[in-house]
Structure 1
């Protein structure tokens, strides 16, 4: 009587262990999900940092003219009245 019960319990244990270690929804899937969560946390931290920089830039543009003037000069090439604009062209090493 004890022997058939032990066989059934052993088979049940093997089946449960198989499902835990080797099935698609077992431990490998859990490890893959943990890896994806860690990667997403890193991506989120980078995006939060980028958003903070952009928010600071927006606040700076709203509050003062210095940032607006700097952006107009660097991106649009604008100058103030009475200023002289010098465009420096660097030499390139071209061989014919």
Structure 2
């Protein structure tokens, strides 16, 4: 009976050591991995939203001239031939 008790205590000690040892996949390491996973999921979600916005912009540029003209005006400062440019100085 004492031998069985010693074996059980040794097994419990062994499993406790493995549970808390940072080298062998401890609880702290598991929590750290869960945190990394949460951060990666957030990053993936942000990238998905960015990709969807870019895809919508590409589709808009393919289909319509209005978006193309708006982009040319805002980013390049272009105007059409029949328009007059006014610059307001403050």
Does the aligned pair in 2 maintain the 1:22–1:28 contact within 8 Å? Answer: no
CA deviations on 1:57-80 (whole Å, 9 max, x unpaired) are 000000000000000001111111
Deviation at 1:10, TM superposition (A): 0.6
Count residues in correspondence.
89
RMSD of Structure 2 on Structure 1 (CA): 1.4
* TM norm structure 1: 0.82
Question: C-alpha displacement at 1:81, in angstroms?
Answer: 1.1
Richer in helix (by share): 2
| Gap runs ≥5 in structure 1 | 91-96
Normalized against structure 2, the TM-score is what?
0.87
**Conserved 8 A contact 1:19-1:26:** yes
List alignment gaps of at least 5 residues for structure 2.
none
* Other-structure match for 1:44: 44
